[in-house]
Chains A and B, each alone.
Chain A
Amino acid sequence: MEKEVDDPPVAVEIDQTGQQSYYHSQSDSKRPQTDDVSVGVTVITGYLGAGKSTLVNHILNSQHGKRIAVILNEFGEEIGVERAMINEGEGGALVEEWVELANGCICCTVKHSLVQALEQLVLMKESRLDHIIIETTGLANPAPLASVLWLDDQLESSVKLDSIITVVDAKNLPFQLNKHRDSSSFPEAFLQIAFADVVILNKVDLVSSEILEELEKEIHNTNSLANIIHSVRCEVDLSKILNCQAYDATHATHLEALLEESKSLSTRHLHDGGVRTVCICDSQQVDLDKVRLWLEEILWDKKDGMDVYRCKGILRVQNSDELHTLQAVREIYDIVPARKWEGSENQMNKIVFIGHNLNEDVLLDSFRGCALTT
């Protein structure tokens, strides 16, 4: 055995030729910190053939100067992503680059492996990514994906859910929706529309204006909060579909505009018990603790058998000069103060539910119980 020496030998200069490094992750310091804004993630759903790929290509090919990464994934039972295709769409030139994403530890972590993979993607790129698009195939219900992507602000993640976009095919939609009449389960189309923030009604050139009107009504009946955009070959204005900030609690203006627009957002009763929208309004100030309990009974305990998919609203809260926003996807909900009420404003509570088996009277009566007793 070598005799122990107290002093080390003289260290030698490192010869820097061809160091083979195992590239696994890039350091934080290498990523240019242009700003602290997180990268928006848009989920695109829709039937095969509706035009999802066309939409994605349109987004990438338009001259917008943005760097967009597209994740193509087959979602079956599991939500995960192993490879991402980064399309650089700048100056019209498409650079395709397959990037392998290592899956992080899945146990007892707060962030789903999909989120970790997306964060790694953002870290990996030397220059800023402007947006991430997840194009889904075979995903009937976007809710689990939304739940996974709608992160707590506390996590200060480099990615955040921007919106869910559903592409529907004007020519085939009537057929898809009619399937429901014959079976006991919902066609995927209803679920995809119910969870959408934006619905792109594509191939409008292939159907008559009467049918278009019918379809608009049908979509609106299901989800009166979604922004419906007509398109031919998915050529839509990008400013309407990117940077929606649909899950940004403080982005109240968009929400308020929606709630202001329609006098009543509640849609007609469907005798076949389909998916519909219910809107309740009340002017009394509410106790926030009671509102939470009320909402939890609906979302977590399925009060009266009601099945809520999405919920958005504004609240007039006791002892607060701030307008609060309410947002929910399945059981996950968040109520946060958004901004101060303006002097001239008519302070109101207005909440919209999108779901199945909704009972407007029950919802309104029980909500009134959240107000201060006068």
Chain B
Amino acid sequence: MAGGSDVAEATALSCVQCGKPAHLQCPKCMELKLPREGAAFCTQDCFKACWSSHKSVHVKAKLSSLGTGSTGEQDLGVLNEGWQYCLRRGQSRTPKLPHFDWTGKLRPYPISPMRVVPSHIDQPDWAVDGIPKIEPNSELQRVVEIKTPDQIQRMRETCKIAREALDAAARVIRPGVTTDEIDRVVHEATIAADSGYIGVTSCFSYDLLKLVYLFIEIRDGDIVNVDVTVYYKGVHGDLNETYFVGNVDEASLQLVQCTYECLEKAISIVKPGVRFREIGEVINRHATMSGLSVVKSYCGHGIGELFHCAPNIPHYGRSKAVGVMKAGQTFTIEPMINAGVWRDRMWPDGWTAVTTDGKRSAQFEHTLLVTETGVEVLTARLPSSPSVFPWLNA
């Protein structure tokens, strides 16, 4: 990487506030021997600008060094032992912040140990370490399954539970709430339904596309996405929505609404005989027309007994996606739309994807069933779903 003893090269550390090369660090962090990477700044001004949110790191570090547990409030497990930075999609942890040239403002924080799912609840084979065993080699990666009536009924139930769990999360979204709290709410909602929600919370804010295991406190003006996948009666249900936190700017409002519309329009063309690649055409058209871009790295996917299987559904246009829709197929459509450029990059944790230009991104997802005449949105909003989207309130 950087040449041998070239210590003057400042690209080793980036300013937490603005991303420029950093030469200064927080003296408090030094004193507490906290990771330098989370406390590097280019100027005193950036340090000052960051101070109000940065200083909480000292508080937590001090309390954790005392070895005490929670003071009874929503300290959210930060104070417990075992919080480390995630690497390799959760396969390993490291006590130090990994080196990376971060875009935008967000940085990873150590993550809590995994939440426990009660043993009476069925889990898919990937629940333990995040690595699916059956899925990669299954024939269902090549051939799109036509679900039996029994499978369809189970998926309806699973998707309803997933919808209710997501709605539970939506209800707690407000400034000051942390992602860990959201994770807990969803976890408890699904356990209550005797189903498993196995650790896939992703929260969008600022520039992030997909985060997992991230501890951040959401703030007024943020947009946040929560993605819930539920495993129940042997099948998966998957959906996500992007929410507003407090008062967001006009651009974010439009970004989120446009993304919602992209998904809506894509769903409207689903019926037997339609090519899968048509979905990407519809999404791309609507996003581009609104001056936004479509993320190309991630796609919709078949779902059922396996979490991800055929078909692969790109959200961009002019793809070589294979196949046409047939009644009985179930799959997700989950466009990620960016305010800036379409390109994304991966964090050292092997999971978090971010926009390369640090601008915002939004996403919506549904699990769908192709019917004889059209489509059934298995994860559709319920009458009880909270009213969180202004354009639906008309």
Contacts and interface: CB of A to CB of B under 8 A. Distances in A.
Nearest to A331: B322
Interface in A265-304: 296, 300
Interface in A13-28: 13-14, 16-17, 19, 21-28
B365 to A, nearest CB: 10
A10 B25 contact: no
Given A8-B55, A10-B27, A109 B99 contact: no
Interface string A87-120: 0000000000000001111111111000000000
Contact of B323 (A13, A105, A300): A300
A11 interface: yes
B100 A19 contact: no
A2 B58 contact: yes
Q: Which of B59, B298, B307 has the most CB of A within 10 A?
A: B298
Contact of A152 (B48, B88, B314): B314
Interface stretch (B36-44, B215-223, B250-258): B36-44
A24 B23 contact: no
B26 A8 contact: yes
Interface string B103-146: 00000000000000000000000000000100011000000000
A6 to B, nearest CB: 8
Interface string B320-345: 10111000000000100000000001
A7 B51 contact: yes
B95 to A, nearest CB: 11
A106 B51 contact: no
Q: Which of A9, A10, A110 has the most CB of B within 10 A?
A: A110
B26 A1 contact: no
Interface in B1-34: 1, 7-8, 11-13, 22-28, 30
A154 interface: yes
Q: Chain A contact residues (Cβ within 8 angstroms of B): what range? A: 35 or more
A17 B12 CA distance: 11
A209 to B, nearest CB: 43
Contacts of B11: 27, 30
Interface residues of B, number: 64
Contacts of B47: 8, 11
A19 B319 CA distance: 44
A208 interface: no
B40 A153 contact: no
A111 B297 contact: yes
A78 B136 contact: yes
B76 to A, nearest CB: 17
A108 B298 contact: yes
Interface stretch (B157-165, B191-199, B348-356, B377-385): B348-356
Interface of B: 1, 7-8, 11-13, 22-28, 30, 36, 40-41, 44, 47-48, 51, 54-55, 58-59, 62-63, 87-89, 94, 96, 98-101, 132, 136-137, 296-301, 307-308, 312, 314, 316-320, 322-324, 334, 345-346, 348, 350-351, 356
10 closest residue pairs by CB, A with B: A21-B99, A11-B24, A8-B51, A27-B101, A24-B348, A16-B7, A22-B98, A11-B47, A107-B308, A331-B322
Given A30-B11, A152-B314, 20 more contacts: A7-B51, A8-B44, A8-B47, A8-B48, A8-B51, A9-B27, A10-B44, A19-B13, A21-B99, A22-B99, A22-B348, A78-B136, A105-B350, A105-B351, A152-B319, A152-B320, A154-B314, A154-B316, A296-B324, A300-B324
Interface of A: 1-2, 4-5, 7-14, 16-17, 19, 21-30, 77-78, 102-111, 150, 152-155, 296, 300, 331-334
19 contacts: A2-B58, A7-B48, A7-B51, A11-B24, A11-B41, A11-B44, A14-B24, A22-B87, A22-B94, A22-B348, A24-B87, A30-B1, A108-B298, A109-B298, A109-B299, A110-B298, A110-B299, A152-B318, A300-B324
